[in-house]
């Protein structure tokens, strides 16, 4: 694989009244595991079902019901861990996190506090302009999701739907290695991309299948470096945790506004209180979740219903062998195999569907660079105009590959290719057959072009005289010949012949 080297980006700096401040950010990302059934019950995970229809008695916390773990959810967590180059713990265990809330009928969430299934890993977060941040992953643990409370259906009641209760979540905990709002969003984006490639989480933020708790603190320039050297948190400021955000835009806005709030407190001579806060997008402010504070005593203890989760190295190796390609590796391969730029390779690997499509075009046309140009500029531009996704694309990789192959073979000019693309895109059909049937083929036959050139020269003796004195005027003849041939003449051949005849 190609060795991609990046520089670390500069941290975000906020100018305060008493000097500059830097941000230190750590994230807890909750990613819903892609599985058919829930983590500990046989109920469906399908989104959007009738309320309380995807509920087993285990999920409803009925007395005497026992959890039985879904092996696929374990495999998904292992896949995600391998994708983040993390250590996989062959022995992990489940604990109960106790708290009362109407959408948690058991009265506790089964989670993995003491022995998570995945340990330390890292993820490379590209930030453009040759910069990237390596974010260390502290751990990933498996846990149950809670149900959903709806507060706006009745003035005095909240309505509870337990369909999501017990669906498997992976909580991915980062180290405080993120240094700005854009980095935080890029980090979530990268996790999302990796999990989508692995098929372990669909990454749908709108449905809440991917949400983040963000820990934010501020410090003076130089303090973070001291923390890095010593791993001693006392060099950093007191952090606040902003809960449950499910949009990249909100994550960035919340970090910015929370950092400014903390700076204002410190500069006023106060102290930041460590607490859980909520981001209000309408008011663009964070506010304290006081109710959470009192209930913060979770009284964790090992879940007596579940034996420790023991997995075999051979099983992990088998999963690793069938992991599929990760976006970083694919990007590296696109750069080394096809000579693409870092930017083009990033665009083409952003979504796996794009990469698969692109490789289909390459397979048919045999030209990676030309294929990349056509996919990124023509196809993506056209899809964007139509607000169509690549999965609903009316032109197949084979068809676009056919167009690219014709350009590569010199059968059609770039200008004709755009017309051809439009025809295939709107009408369908085989590009080579269309070119043949509609006479769009580029004329490379020198004799035919020479005949056209001779004709233009014979009809315009005055222009010929001028052009002999000023060779720059040859362009006019090229234009005339192209016009006469309906744009089908090979421009390179036309140029050559005209230069020869006029120079003659």
Partner 1 sequence: MSIDTETARKVAKLARIRVEDDALPVLANEFNAILGFIEQLNEVDVDGVEPMTSVTPMRLKRREDVVTDGDQQGAVLTNAPDAREGFFAVPKVVE
Residues at the interface with partner 1 (CB under 8 A)? 35-37, 41-44, 50-58, 60, 68-74, 98, 100-102, 149-151, 153-162, 278, 289, 291, 295, 297, 299, 306-310
Provide the minimum distance between the beta carbon of 73 and partner 1 in the complex, in angstroms, as a whole number.
Answer: 7
118, 80 Cβ separation under 8 angstroms: yes
Provide the minimum distance between the beta carbon of 85 and partner 1 in the complex, in angstroms, as a whole number.
Answer: 25
Provide the minimum distance between the beta carbon of 250 and partner 1 in the complex, in angstroms, as a whole number.
Answer: 16
For residue 481, the surrounding DSSP H or E stretch is: helix 474-484
Residues contacting residue 178 through CB under 8 Å, at least 6 positions apart: 24, 25, 26, 27, 133, 135, 184, 187
Handedness of CA 418, 420, 426, 432 (dihedral sign): negative
> 110 forms bridges with which residues in the sheet?
96
Nearer to partner 1, 283 or 299 (CB): 299
Nearer to partner 1, 74 or 184 (CB): 74
Nearer to partner 1, 109 or 490 (CB): 109
Nearer to partner 1, 92 or 480 (CB): 92
Nearer to partner 1, 73 or 172 (CB): 73
- Distance in angstroms (rounded) separating the CA atoms of residues 401 and 407: 10
- Distance in angstroms (rounded) separating the CA atoms of residues 174 and 225: 18
> What would the two tokens of residue 71 be?
């092996």
502, 471 Cβ separation under 8 angstroms: yes
Provide the minimum distance between the beta carbon of 434 and partner 1 in the complex, in angstroms, as a whole number.
Answer: 47
Handedness of CA 182, 125, 15, 290 (dihedral sign): positive
160, 144 Cβ separation under 8 angstroms: no
Nearer to partner 1, 240 or 406 (CB): 240
Nearer to partner 1, 150 or 451 (CB): 150
Provide the minimum distance between the beta carbon of 154 and partner 1 in the complex, in angstroms, as a whole number.
Answer: 7
> What would the two tokens of residue 286 be?
């964070």
DSSP state at residue 88: B
Nearer to partner 1, 149 or 230 (CB): 149
Nearer to partner 1, 72 or 275 (CB): 72
Provide the minimum distance between the beta carbon of 208 and partner 1 in the complex, in angstroms, as a whole number.
Answer: 16
- Nearest alpha carbon to residue 442 among 399, 408, 400: 408
- Distance in angstroms (rounded) separating the CA atoms of residues 218 and 262: 7
Nearer to partner 1, 43 or 82 (CB): 43
Provide the minimum distance between the beta carbon of 102 and partner 1 in the complex, in angstroms, as a whole number.
Answer: 5
- Nearest alpha carbon to residue 1 among 153, 124, 168, 183: 124
Q: What is the CA radius of gyration of the chain?
A: 30
* CA-to-CA dists, residue 80 to 171, 197, 221, angstroms: 11, 10, 34
Provide the minimum distance between the beta carbon of 158 and partner 1 in the complex, in angstroms, as a whole number.
Answer: 5
- Chain centre distance of CA 384: 18
24, 6 Cβ separation under 8 angstroms: no
Provide the minimum distance between the beta carbon of 205 and partner 1 in the complex, in angstroms, as a whole number.
Answer: 20
Provide the minimum distance between the beta carbon of 103 and partner 1 in the complex, in angstroms, as a whole number.
Answer: 9
């Amino acid at each position: 694989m190609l060795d991609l080297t990046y520089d670390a980006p500069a941290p975000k700096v906020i100018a305060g009244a008493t000097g500059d401040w830097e941000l230190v950010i750590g994230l807890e990302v909750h990613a819903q595991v892609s599985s058919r059934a829930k983590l500990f019950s046989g109920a469906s995970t399908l989104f959007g079902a009738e309320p309380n229809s995807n509920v087993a008695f285990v999920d409803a916390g009925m007395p005497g019901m026992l959890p039985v773990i879904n092996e696929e959810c374990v495999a998904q967590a292992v896949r995600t861990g391998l994708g983040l180059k993390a250590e996989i713990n062959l022995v992990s265990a489940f604990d109960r996190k106790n708290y009362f809330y109407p959408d948690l009928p058991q009265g506790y969430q089964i989670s993995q506090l003491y022995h998570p299934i995945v340990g330390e890993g890292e993820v490379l977060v590209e930030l453009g302009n040759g910069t990237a941040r390596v974010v260390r992953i502290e751990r990933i643990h498996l846990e149950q999701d809670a149900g959903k409370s709806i507060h706006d259906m009745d003035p005095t009641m909240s309505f509870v739907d337990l369909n999501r209760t017990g669906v498997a979540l992976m909580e991915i905990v980062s180290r405080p290695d993120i240094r700005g709002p854009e980095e935080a969003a890029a980090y979530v984006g990268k996790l999302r991309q990796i999990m989508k490639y692995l098929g372990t989480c669909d990454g749908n933020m709108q449905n809440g299948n991917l949400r983040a708790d963000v820990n934010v603190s501020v410090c003076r320039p130089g303090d973070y470096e001291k923390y890095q050297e010593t791993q001693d948190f006392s060099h950093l400021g007191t952090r606040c945790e902003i809960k449950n955000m499910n949009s990249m835009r909100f994550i960035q806005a919340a970090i910015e506004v929370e950092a400014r709030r903390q700076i204002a407190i410190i500069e006023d001579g106060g102290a930041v209180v460590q607490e859980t806060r909520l981001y209000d997008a309408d008011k663009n402010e964070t506010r304290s979740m006081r109710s959470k504070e009192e209930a913060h005593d979770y009284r964790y203890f090992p879940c007596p219903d579940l034996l420790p989760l023991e997995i075999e190295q051979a099983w992990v190796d088998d999963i690793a062998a069938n992991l599929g390609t990760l976006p970083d590796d694919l990007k590296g391969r696109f750069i080394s195999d096809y000579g693409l730029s870092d930017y083009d390779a990033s665009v083409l690997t952003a979504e796996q569907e794009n990469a698969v499509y692109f490789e289909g075009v390459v397979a048919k046309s045999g030209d990676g660079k030309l294929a990349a140009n056509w996919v990124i500029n023509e196809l993506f531009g056209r899809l964007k105009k139509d607000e169509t996704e690549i999965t609903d694309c009316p032109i197949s990789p084979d068809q676009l590959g056919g167009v690219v192959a014709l350009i590569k073979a010199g059968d059609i000019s770039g200008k004709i290719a755009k017309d051809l693309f439009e025809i295939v895109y709107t009408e369908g059909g085989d590009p080579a057959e269309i070119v043949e049937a509609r006479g769009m083929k580029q004329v490379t036959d020198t004799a035919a072009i020479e005949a056209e050139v001779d004709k233009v020269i014979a009809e315009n003796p005055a222009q010929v005289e001028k052009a002999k004195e000023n060779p720059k005027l040859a362009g006019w003849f090229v234009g005339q010949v192209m016009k006469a041939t309906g744009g089908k003449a090979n421009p390179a051949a036309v140029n050559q012949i005209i230069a020869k005849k006029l120079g003659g």
